[in-house]
Structure 1
Amino acid sequence: MMKASDLFVKCLEEEGIEYIFGVPGEENADFMMSLEKSDKIKFILTRHEQGAAFMAEIYGRLTGNAAGCLGTLGPGATNLITGVADSNMDRAPMLALTGQGSSQRLHKESHQIMDVVKMFEPVTKWATTILHPDNIPEIIRKAVRVARTEKPGAVHIELPEDIAKLQATTSPIKPQRFRRPVADDKIVDEAFEILKNAKHPIILAGNGCIRRRASKQLRQFCENTGIGVINTFMAKGCVDMDAPYCLYTAGLQAKDVVFHAIEASDLIITLGFDMVEYHPSLWNPNGEKPIIHADFLPAEID
């Protein structure tokens, strides 16, 4: 048997979590004592919970690995929300961890008690509370998997203080490797035929190129084909800005040089593109231009 808060930390270690940023409170006391014993996870104290959330977001965006941000119940949890929402919109994996009062207080009005999970649901991919210590391994496994898989984003786990003190009979789950999808050969052949017949193709590179470390392959493709590439503002750095095939960054509003390059093209290849980056109605207003979309998820419609 193991104390629930110890099991929580052990599960985070198994999932490869290395950093937690935050401001602890009384309701996080058991978790913090368990975290202090860890030699794999580093806790970084911040001045404000919002700063902790943004630090975890940037870590996730730069590394592709999830970090945690921590707050206590009530105002500690609500202070995390802006950074958590930004992480979710920017497709950065993150674990938002909040303490909570005793589970026996959750059904009634009580000091600083509010439905934090309901507040986090609209700004995360998944939000839940732990109501039994034996559920900790599967909850953390699901949370990390949801945070990391496409489209990556934020998840929220609430740990009530009385649950953190209980003894658990379960053990951490050994992590499994994520399997990436492989393109269908027929679809690849169709895309090749479309590309072969295009006279002025252009590439619109999105944040997925950064997230999935596809920059090297993108550069090789551009060098071999001579096709110009435009990046969204969330994909800056996916190709060298001084490369002859780089047409710089797409603007959201102005009809600049980049926009005219898109306008003059007869085929747009979107790589790792997400609609949250640059609305298709801005660069393909009439929906007339053919598009080859390559990503880990099916395309959406604007």
Structure 2
Amino acid sequence: MNSAELLVKCLENEGVKYIFGLPGEENAWLLMALEQSTIRFILCRHEQGAAFMANLYGRLTGNPGVCLSTLGPGATNLITGIADANMDRVPLVAIIAQADSHRLHKEGHQNIDLVSLFKHITKRSCTIFHPDSIPEITRKAFKTAREEKPGACLIELPCDIASMHAESRLKPLRAENPGRPLPDRDLIKKAATHIMASNNPIIIAGNGVIREEAYRELRIFAEKTGIGVTSTFMAKGAVSKCSEQNLFTIGLEAEDYECMAIKEADLVIAAGYDFVEYSPKKWNPDGNDSHKKIIHIDYLPAETDECYMPNIEVTGDISEAFRILTSIISNSETHFDLSFQHETRKKIIKDLESHKSINQKGLISPQKIILEISKAMSDKDILISDVGAHKLWIARYFHTENPRTCFIPNGFCPMGFALPGAVGAKIACPDKKIIAVCGDGGFLMNMQEMETASRIGANIVVMVWEDGEFGLIKWKQDNLFGHHTDLHFNNPDFADLARAFGWYGKRITDSAAISEELYKAFNCGKPALISIPVDYRENMKLSEHLRDISKTN
């Protein structure tokens, strides 16, 4: 066997079932080896799309998604998708081809130092220089990608090494992943003492609660104690939307009801909380001078920040920490006053339902669109948001029963994420409805993957919110300066575009038709696109509403 074949055996050993990527001259040996393997190679139309597909596959399965490129421009096209995986804490392994190893030290055609380039956006980047190192390099890449906090790893395979003979004695290393360290019981008891002594505690649930499968124990803790939970964008579903303890989602730039509830609290339990999503300065601006106590519960110690100085840090298995806390506190007498949280939940629900009975024609409000999407989806189906103004509306108005059913990239926040991400999600979960919600700006950044979806039979639904502008930037400029720069662009006829790719396509201008068209789209037997002209006049109305919330409280 050659080195490429050995690498593929190692990938099979790691449980890899799909690789998303593009071909090139320098990765030809690897592609030939994949042809003889159990791994399915998903041919994509752009490397960024391939990285986003692998990214969503990794988010859903918990196993590293794998993407593949050739050298030079093929590899650099992966950058945005890899950076997103790394910052959003997604396990991903990228395999890139490279020029022959004997010319890497000098200038040459398409030859740049890719390992150095990727070093700052991965957890580990490494070149294979000899077949003997392939089992170790592969095992380390997958182990590192999975370890907390998960992220991206890069393996570079020069063309001449790929074709080199590999000894038959070389075999994949045993694919075992370490267990989770148990948290310190004495620290948990101290944390419990602080919680029981507080008057108005609250929980901020972050992405780590979902990654570490700790949401079940969090739900039990919240139910037994009555303490409210607000989730970050990437922790949606940590608590059921129907739970009386669910205070919905925190993360908007302006102060919302949830932020007011945190400000009222005298103690914050931050579980799996990650600064990349929402800075602690937003909810604890006084930092060291704050009278608010913070209990940090996470797999790793807290990041240092002047606005996040925990009184107690409980590190290790988050599930176990909540199990012990529940046992202690639920069997003890507490005197919490959670009335402000109860009123907060009532206000949020009233706000969520304000557009429920309104029918609209022409421009349709974000709230109404999201309400119709929610009605069309089961509790186990999956919504994937792109980045743009719609992302903030989804964060505020789309709520879930289960984790991993709403994906909002909120660390690196790249536009163009949702369409290819939806393809990766459909491959990971073929029996679920998958909808990607995009702005017209972000959708056109990776629309080439419509062909991929059609070719491989990934029957996703894409909904494009049309406004003919970069709406989020307009919203922010209007808030900051009172006006905006020229952000207008022209769009194609999206329904015609969909049909050109062999998709079902429909444009909707009546909110009463959304439900029926979503049903048709999900059941048409092929990928589908629905475009809707969105009424983004609601953006500034929301800004005013948020200012009123801040003033009132």
Q: How far 1:171 moved relative to its partner?
A: 1.5
Partner of 1:224: 224
Q: How far 1:174 moved relative to its partner?
A: 1.2
Q: How far 1:242 moved relative to its partner?
A: 2.6
The 8 Å contact of residues 87 and 153 in structure 1, kept in 2 or not, is answered as: yes
Q: How far 1:19 moved relative to its partner?
A: 1.6
TM-score relative to the length of structure 1: 0.97
Q: How far 1:251 moved relative to its partner?
A: 2.5
Deviations 1:85-130 (A, max 9, x none): 0000000000011011111111111111111111111111111111
The alignment status of 1:299 with 2:302, answered yes or no, reads yes
Q: 1:78 aligns with which of 71, 76, 79?
A: 76
The alignment status of 1:290 with 2:289, answered yes or no, reads no
Partner of 2:171: 171
Q: Indicate the structure whose relative CO is greater, using CA pairs within 8 Å and at least 6 residues apart.
A: 1
Q: How far 1:253 moved relative to its partner?
A: 1.5
The secondary structure found in structure 2 opposite 1:97 is strand
The secondary structure found in structure 2 opposite 1:32 is helix
Q: How far 1:194 moved relative to its partner?
A: 0.6
Distance 1:256 1:112 in 2: 50
Partner of 1:29: 28
Listed as ranges, the matches of 1:157-168 within 5 Å are 157-168=155-166
Listed as ranges, the matches of 1:19-58 within 5 Å are 19-39=18-38, 41-58=39-56
Distance 1:217 1:63 in 2: 20
The secondary structure found in structure 1 opposite 2:157 is strand
Which letter does structure 1 place at the counterpart of 2:15? G
Partner of 1:245: 245
Partner of 2:469: none
The 8 Å contact of residues 58 and 90 in structure 2, kept in 1 or not, is answered as: yes
CA RMSD of aligned residues (A): 1.0
TM-score relative to the length of structure 2: 0.54
Partner of 2:63: 65
Distance 2:195 2:258 in 1: 21
Distance 1:113 1:227 in 2: 56
Deviations 1:216-242 (A, max 9, x none): 111111111110000001111111123
The secondary structure found in structure 2 opposite 1:168 is coil
Which letter does structure 2 place at the counterpart of 1:290? K
Deviations 1:42-77 (A, max 9, x none): 211111000000111111112211011111000000
Q: How far 1:168 moved relative to its partner?
A: 2.0
The secondary structure found in structure 1 opposite 2:125 is strand
The 8 Å contact of residues 47 and 69 in structure 2, kept in 1 or not, is answered as: yes
The alignment status of 1:274 with 2:274, answered yes or no, reads yes
Partner of 1:148: 146
Structure 1: tracts of 5 or more residues without a match: none
Partner of 1:214: 214
The secondary structure found in structure 2 opposite 1:44 is strand
The secondary structure found in structure 2 opposite 1:230 is strand
Which letter does structure 2 place at the counterpart of 1:21? F
Distance 1:172 1:192 in 2: 45
Q: How far 1:177 moved relative to its partner?
A: 3.3
Q: How far 1:179 moved relative to its partner?
A: 1.3
Larger Rg belongs to: 2
Count of residue pairs the alignment pairs up: 300
Distance 1:66 1:46 in 2: 18
The 8 Å contact of residues 9 and 38 in structure 1, kept in 2 or not, is answered as: yes
Q: How far 1:252 moved relative to its partner?
A: 3.4
Partner of 2:12: 13
The 8 Å contact of residues 143 and 177 in structure 2, kept in 1 or not, is answered as: no
Q: How far 1:36 moved relative to its partner?
A: 1.1
Deviations 1:173-210 (A, max 9, x none): 11123211100111111111011111100000000111
Partner of 1:133: 131
